[in-house]
Structure 1
Amino acid sequence: MSDALQHRFIKIEDLVFHVVVAGPEDAPPVILLHGFPDAWFGWKFQIDQLLQAGYRVIIPDQRGYNLSSKPKGYEHYRIETLGQDIVKLADSLNIGKFSLAGHDWGAAVSWYLAEQWPERITHLAIINVPHPSVMISYLKKHPKQIMKSWYIFLFQIPRLAEFLARLGNWHMMLSALPLHLPHDLRAEYREAWSQEGAITGMINWYRAMFRTRRTNNRRDAKIVASTLIIWGRNDRYLSYEMAELSLDHCESAQLVTLEASHWVMLDDPEAVGKLLVEHFQSPQHYG
């Protein structure tokens, strides 16, 4: 991995975000968003490929995670707020338009950003999370997917979810990650989860799903940015059919499947990096 990573702490209103930045300031910007229970380093294996292709790479620890601020209360983790975090972060770095990639919850935020700020997103890459409208409708019709998403309901229980997450030196959390992860990376995850307030902040993303109502003026608008959906066929949490259904919510999209788990960027890092570079270099779609 590149030695040229800058670790910045950027104040946005009353919060501080830890952001990893690499590459020339005048290079085309790419923002990478992690999911649960991840942090910026979940993208570490794609950084060099993007830098070598001539991009500026920006990877924040999102609110509630690792070294970024962790406001108390689930009401601070609405999808609208999470999306605004990224727009304000881009503004603070003097970034207008940018390419965007997200995995898991980072993909959910990416869908939202592309829907609400289409003028800012040139290219969109989504990894193993369906379009939100697909997720909602699919859950209503497919009990099997509800069973796969059992942990979402567990996370609604205050204190119990945090207790179980910490049990056995983070055994439940580690079991969600690929078995092949090296020990040093597992140690990074444990350290990130052990930050004061982190586990509750992370879980509050799920609690806000059920306890806040989404309000925006472009809900269900088709995604106009050129979109790439990368999907690990061996995802044990999300059904592949939802990836196919998500294509209907985009004006210009392609779906690429890999023999990987939910953690595609860690299972096949070279393939994911190559796909991202090729996608970000493709012509923009303007609807």
Structure 2
Amino acid sequence: MEIEGPWTHEQAIVGDVRLHYVTAGDDDDPLVVLLHGFPEFWYSWREQIPALADAGYRVVAPDMRGYNRSEKPHGVRSYRTEELAEDVANLIEHFDRDEARVVGHDWGGVVAWEVAIRHPEVVEQLAVLNAPHPAAYRRELARNAEQWKRSWYAMAFQIPWLPEAWLGAQDAARVETLFRETATPDTFSDDDLRRYRAAASRPGALTAAINYYRALFRENLASEAKRLVGRGSRTLDVDAPTLLLWGERDDALSVHLTEDLDRWVPDLRVERFPEATHWVQHDEAEAVSESLVEFFGSS
């Protein structure tokens, strides 16, 4: 059953994958693409979609490949960041636009960074919520044992089939537990959690979501191997004006990941929310919406 609201549900073949998305706002308004994280789906942006549409933007929030009602390609390689970034570039093209404002939270933020790095021509402005720039993440893992401890789950996700079996048991009950244990009390209603469990319970959805982590781990190993044999590495610079929003009570990601980014992101604004958790757009829904609207209107 479709979730009703001030949006419409649509599907399209975007590149080589079928994506489900919701959209709001007038067709001719500037385009904003909202990318959700793990283990959510487009519903992650239910508060920001109407706020951005009311501010004069055409808003598109897809289920990223593998999630909820979008297509779930087989194999780990189908979830490389190269493929995920290409999906976003193709989605922008699907709406007959040359560029868009791109927003991402958590894994959506990882993808948003990659779009800005790999396809800078399509990103007019970038906003990222609690997702580290790839160079900053590697830096913190190299110098900060605490970040390694916080990232334990990403290592556990490398094990074949067991993580999705564990998360998916009892109709994805542990997905609900994940939200309850990492969010501010009452941030998510019982109805919200029911919807997240239903999305995660779709056939193949958990394997696809966990394959994001598996593919990234393999990419990082390949990148490090190239560096060690002297083949260099790709640039990680971001040219687009960038807003980084960060909930400081994130259990998985250190606030140090927001520091010293000028080398890679010269046009950067950072806003921290001391009382927000990893789920910052839920904990501080109105403030996040206001920050996005103000930032997008600043250029």
Give the TM-score range, shorter chain.
over 0.9
Find out whether 1:95 has 2:102 as its counterpart: no
User: Which residue of the partner structure matches residue 68 of structure 1?
Assistant: 70
**Partners of 1:63 and 1:133 in 2: CA distance:** 24
1:31 is matched by which residue type in structure 2? V
SS at 1:260 equivalent: strand
Give the deviation of 1:169 after TM superposition. 4.2
Whole-angstrom distance in 1 between the partners of 2:15 and 2:82? 16
Asked if 1 retains the 8 angstrom alpha-carbon contact of 2:171 and 2:201, the reply is no
Off by >4 Å, runs of 4+ in structure 1:
none
* Number of aligned positions between the proteins: 282
- Is 1:272–2:272 an aligned residue pair? no
Q: Distance in 2 between matches of 1:64 and 1:199?
A: 8
Name which of structure 1's ranges 168-177 and 121-130 shifts more when overlaid on structure 2. 168-177
- The more displaced of 206-215 and 20-29 is 206-215
Letter aligned with residue 273 of structure 1:
S
The aligned residue for residue 42 of structure 1 is: 44
Map 1:99-178; keep pairs closer than 5 Å: 99-177=101-179, 178=183
Q: CA deviation at 1:12?
A: 2.7
Aligned-pair CA distance for 1:218: 8.6
In structure 2, what is the Cα distance between the partners aligned to 1:2 and 1:28?
A: 24
CA distance 1:240–1:247, shift in 2 (3 Å): farther
Percent identity (aligned): 38
1:27-73: CA deviations, max 9, x gaps? Answer: 01100101111100001111111011100000110011000011111
Partners of 1:144 and 1:270 in 2: CA distance: 31
Q: Which residue does the alignment assign to 1:56?
A: 58
- CA distance in 1 between counterparts of 2:100 and 2:57 reads 10
The 1:17/1:218 distance shift into structure 2, 3 A limit, reads farther
Contact 1:99/1:121, CA 8 A, preserved across alignment: yes
Deviation at 1:144, TM superposition (A): 1.3
**Matches of 2:100 and 2:16, distance apart in 1:** 25
Distance in 2 between residues matched to 1:204 and 1:159, nearest whole Å: 10
Residues 158-179 of structure 1 show CA distances to partners (whole Å, capped at 9, x for unaligned) of 1210111023543432233224
Q: How big is the shift at 1:19?
A: 1.1
SS at match of 1:233: strand
SS at 1:54 equivalent? coil
Q: Distance in 2 between matches of 1:112 and 1:200?
A: 22
User: Who is 2:257 aligned against?
Assistant: 242
Do the aligned residues in 1 keep the contact of 2:135 with 2:236 (CA within 8 Å)? no
| Alignment of structure 1 residues 207-226 onto 2, 5 Å | 207-212=214-219, 213=222, 219-226=234-241
Using the size of structure 2 for normalisation, the TM-score is 0.90
The answer as to whether partners of 1:28 and 1:98 remain within 8 angstroms in 2 is yes
Corresponding residue for residue 257 of structure 1: 272
Cα RMSD after superposing both structures: 1.9
Counterparts of 1:3 and 1:236, CA distance in 2: 31
Residue 15 of structure 1: CA displacement? 2.2
CA distance in 2, matches of 1:199, 1:103: 18
* Corresponding residue SS for 2:22: strand
Note if contact 2:134-2:236 (Cα within 8 Å) is conserved in structure 1: no
Question: 5+ unaligned residues in a row in structure 2: which ranges?
Answer: 227-231
Offset of residue 92 of structure 1: 1.3
Unaligned runs of at least 5 residues, structure 1: none
Q: Deviation of residue 247 (structure 1)?
A: 4.2
Change (3 A) 1:91 1:137: same
Please give the alpha-carbon distance, in whole angstroms, between the structure 2 residues aligned to 1:97 and 1:2.
28
**Structure 1 length as normaliser, TM-score?**
0.93
1:228 and 2:243 matched: yes
